[in-house]
Amino acid sequence: MFLISLASSQSRHWTLIDRHGFSAIENLTLEPKSVEKLDAYDKVEIFCLQAALTPCQYFRQKNLGYIEKYATNDVLGHEVAAKLLALSQDLSDPQSKIDLLLTVFNRYGDPEMMERAIPILYSAVKERDPSQSDSNEDILNFSGRSPGKIGASALRSGCT
């Protein structure tokens, strides 16, 4: 649990956490008995960190799915949204940021959190495609599926 506390409180030191922490977190989650012994808050914390540190989008999405399994009430949902938002601010990979933030928008609709997340999402989209030659279909499809949560025009302009 020390590693989780360290990673959560010192998330700006991702280089150290990337190298050493990811293996420890991954090993912990590979042992189902180890995970089941933890309370829901610790499980959510572990899977949020693992989702943020996972380089492969498929496995990142899988970890985000595990979070849903354990975030079964509004309090945990808010904790997840806050954690994913905080972690997204410290990631260097734009696709990882986008994945975490779309989870915040899609599953945990706190308007204040979404307002803080839109500029980060906008920057990540620009960073992922600096020439703006791609259609960013994933973002636009998401905004079309989520009326009232986030608008495509807000993403295009980078503000609410």
Residue 19 has pLDDT above 60, yes or no: no
List Cβ neighbours of 10 (8 Å cut-off, separation of 6 or more). Answer: 17
pLDDT at 157: 44
pLDDT at 22: 67
Helix axis angle, 74-90 to 40-53, nearest 10°? 30
Cβ(53)–Cβ(22) below 8 Å: yes
pLDDT tens digits along 118-134: 999 989 988 988 777 76
pLDDT at 18: 57
> How confident is the model over 55-76, as a mean pLDDT?
88
Quote the tokens at residue 61: 């999405």
Comparing C-alpha atoms, which of 111, 106, 108 is closest to residue 145? 106
Number of other residues whose CB lies within 10 A of the CB of residue 75: 11
Residue 100 has pLDDT above 70, yes or no: yes
